[in-house]
Structure 1
Amino acid sequence: MSSAKIKATLNLSCSRSTVCRALRGTKIAKYIKRKPAPALKAEHKVRPEIFSKRVAGGGSVMVWAAMSARGTSEIKFLEGRQNAVKNQETLTTHLLPFIDKLCLADDDFQPIFQQDWAGFHRAKSIEAWLEDENIVTMSWPAKSPDLIPIENLWGDLVLAVYENGRQFESVNDLRAQILISWSKIKVERLKRLMSDMPTRMALVLKSAGSKIAR
């Protein structure tokens, strides 16, 4: 059970971070990583990164995930057009457990959430939900992909998935490889991407907002 569910079930007035700290201080509760599952289904539907299927019939696969300098969230496959309702569902099922995991590992951890500028990410219902969950968000300029570290991680993932010209016989095969490649991302790479942000911002300022080679 996540800290959000505990808070809701017990009708607690404290924040989820407080629940995390309380759980971390007890010997009864501990974080257990979700066991890997077979091919994800339709209900395993935010920020969509598109992978070419490279199989007969064409098409694409969309995924969402989150990252920090300390690790990555579980990846989620999306189907169909995304909207605020589906976005909130994804944040609930994938972002909250990821934040809980980070908070349980470090009492002093204070996450700041950065989303891209997809229209439904700015929906009032999403903003209200983030505020209710006490999730601090980052303000940053629109149309600034060079200021989103996970964009680089998506690039890494695409290269890994299609390494050596790898092809796929089915969508499920592609999804399986995406999960495998995502699980192999090293913390060292995440730390480098995050520590590079000051330099990245300086280069964006120097280029007057133009694209940078970073």
Structure 2
Amino acid sequence: MDIKGELKLVVCKNTVINSMHRSGILKRQKKQLAPNMTDAHKKRRMEFVKENMGTNWDKIVFSDEKKFNLDGPDGNRSYWRDLRKDPVFFLRRNFGGGSVMVWGGFYEDGKLKLQFTSHKMDSTEYQKVLQTAIVPFFRNRRRSHQFQQDNASVHASNSTKAWFQSKKIKVLDWPARSPDLNPIENLWGILVRRIYKHGKQYNSVNDLKTAILAAWDAISDTEMKNLVGSMKNRMIEVIQNNGGETSY
């Protein structure tokens, strides 16, 4: 949501946010999702925090996959309209008009080359993605860095585990049901806002891929450092919430 840009307001972002809060009818609300987090999941998250009290998050490569639709983000059904202008009409095609899947990885000092994948990636394809994306990075960093991934089946398969062992790449033991602990989720959020700014939609997969690559390349060093720097607070919130979901 870019109200400042949409309305061409000559004010700072904080002024816009403060005005929205003062209106009395608008509130910044985090979407309430059902993570299906059991007591066992919460216990494992608490254990994860204790195990990683001394982890240097600057030396972790965070990774994830993300789907991008031609018509806009999943669940996007509204936009902020300038009442001084005519309403904007958007396309509404089946399955979001088509989509692309990407794999990405980043660390405090940089990001890895974005990889486009199939929509139903198996372990073999995943290992090919890793071979291209992370092996060159880890070639001289096996002792200093670790790799982070969630517990998707292609990540946790025996063949993928064997692949990591053969490459001598250390993998962080990530707790299940914990997307809120992975800062790349916030990085995807930044990309989504920029790719679909002002309700932007795309006519072709190639156009969307071009926009995704441009947005990925535009992620700044400051943004990456801030996201990695948030790991300490994420850990603290897990403890405060007895293993429950954080505000991230």
Matched with 2:168 is 134
Q: Percent identity?
A: 37
2:175 counterpart of 1:175? no
Matched with 1:198 is 232
**Alignment partners' CA distance in 2, 1:179 and 1:111:** 25
Give the one of 49, 53, 58 matched to 2:70. 53
The answer (yes or no) to whether the contact 2:150–2:174 under 8 Å persists in 1 is no
2:245 counterpart of 1:211? yes
Deviation string, structure 1 residues 112-154 (Cα, Å, up to 9, x no partner): 1000111110111111111111111111211111111111111
- Number of aligned residue pairs: give it: 164
Give the one of 89, 95, 98 matched to 2:134. 95
Matched with 1:114 is 148
| Matched letter for residue 225 of structure 2 | K
Matched with 1:72 is 111
Return 5+ residue gaps in structure 1 as ranges: 1-45
Moved over 6 A (4+): none
TM-aligned CA deviation for residue 183 of structure 1: 0.2
Task: Return the TM-score normalized by structure 2.
Answer: 0.62
The answer (yes or no) to whether the contact 2:142–2:169 under 8 Å persists in 1 is no
Helix, strand or coil: the match of 1:49?
strand
TM-aligned CA deviation for residue 108 of structure 1: 9.7
| Matched letter for residue 208 of structure 2 | L
Matched with 1:83 is 122
**Alignment partners' CA distance in 1, 2:146 and 2:173:** 10
| Matched letter for residue 134 of structure 1 | K
**Alignment partners' CA distance in 2, 1:51 and 1:108:** 32
Deviation string, structure 1 residues 70-102 (Cα, Å, up to 9, x no partner): 1001111112411110111100011112334xx
**Alignment partners' CA distance in 1, 2:243 and 2:64:** 23
**Alignment partners' CA distance in 2, 1:83 and 1:60:** 18
**Alignment partners' CA distance in 1, 2:246 and 2:68:** 24
Return 5+ residue gaps in structure 2 as ranges: 1-62, 72-90
Helix, strand or coil: the match of 2:134?
helix
Matched with 2:197 is 163
| Matched letter for residue 70 of structure 2 | K
The answer (yes or no) to whether the contact 2:138–2:169 under 8 Å persists in 1 is no
Would the alpha carbon gap of residues 87 and 108 (structure 1) be closer, same or farther in structure 2, given more than 3 Å must change?
Answer: closer
Helix, strand or coil: the match of 1:137?
coil
Larger Rg: 2
**Alignment partners' CA distance in 1, 2:171 and 2:143:** 15
Give the one of 154, 171, 177 matched to 2:188. 154
Matched with 2:157 is 123
Task: Return the TM-score normalized by structure 1.
Answer: 0.71
TM-aligned CA deviation for residue 210 of structure 1: 2.5
**Alignment partners' CA distance in 2, 1:168 and 1:181:** 14
Matched with 2:44 is none
**Alignment partners' CA distance in 2, 1:97 and 1:187:** 20
Considering Cα pairs closer than 8 Å and 6+ residues apart, tell me whether 1 or 2 has the greater RCO: 2
| Matched letter for residue 173 of structure 2 | S
